Copies of this chain bind each other. A is one copy, B any other.
């Protein structure tokens, strides 16, 4: 089945839809119209329908969307219907925070290894995972099927580590180092730049303009 390329903007919204649908599911809501969801999520109903129809018709005229079904389908689109083995490179606070976040496992992301260069940490347990030494990494990657590596280490180590793991079969990098990685086309890189985020916050604080001044968007009826 040929599917047209989905824009980055749409992909970024999918996890948010998934989250809201999960919440609705928890509250026992069975069905929802694009208009109701629009109210909750502060996006236009038109955009919701447009976004979803990139992937097929999940709704029903006169009814709306079945919450359970839509939630499941978006999960599939996001690839949450399978499991991934993930390792964490850098056992600092951030690395340990990721390792401890239990929901990742529920979405299929299994942390199976944590690595650091600090000999002091060797063998320390994080949850049920022992911290291993980076020197063991090549061997580890040959013996274990790892799809994702999270880089929670200093920026000057990020490039070398990214190259090491991708050379050993890792297909995706979740990058928390404060640098952009240039890797072969077939390696997926998703970066979380905390400092960029904080700077945006700071920009908005310095340049606050009352948004109520701008005319409000017209609602669809």
Binding site for B on A (CB under 8 A): 2-3, 5-6, 11-12, 14-16, 18-19, 77-80, 82, 84, 92-94, 96-98, 100-101, 103-104, 107-109, 147-148, 171-172, 174, 178-180, 185-186, 188, 190, 192-212, 217
List 14 A–B pairs whose Cβ atoms lie within 8 Å, in order of A's numbering: A6-B207, A93-B93, A98-B194, A103-B195, A107-B199, A109-B198, A109-B202, A147-B205, A148-B205, A172-B205, A190-B197, A190-B201, A192-B194, A192-B197
Question: Is the pair B78, A195 in contact by a Cβ cutoff of 8 Å?
Answer: no
Q: Which residues of B contact A101 (CB under 8 A)?
A: 194
Q: Which residues of B contact A210 (CB under 8 A)?
A: 185-186
Q: Which residues of B contact A198 (CB under 8 A)?
A: 104, 107, 109, 174, 190
A190 to B: closest C-beta gap in Å: 4
A211 to B: closest C-beta gap in Å: 6
A43 to B: closest C-beta gap in Å: 11
Question: Is the pair A202, B79 in contact by a Cβ cutoff of 8 Å?
Answer: yes
Question: Is the pair A208, B195 in contact by a Cβ cutoff of 8 Å?
Answer: no
A121 to B: closest C-beta gap in Å: 14
**Closest residue on chain B to residue A214 by CB atoms:** B5
**Closest residue on chain B to residue A109 by CB atoms:** B198
Question: Is the pair A199, B14 in contact by a Cβ cutoff of 8 Å?
Answer: yes
Contact of A202 among B2, B78, B178, B217 (CB under 8 A): B78
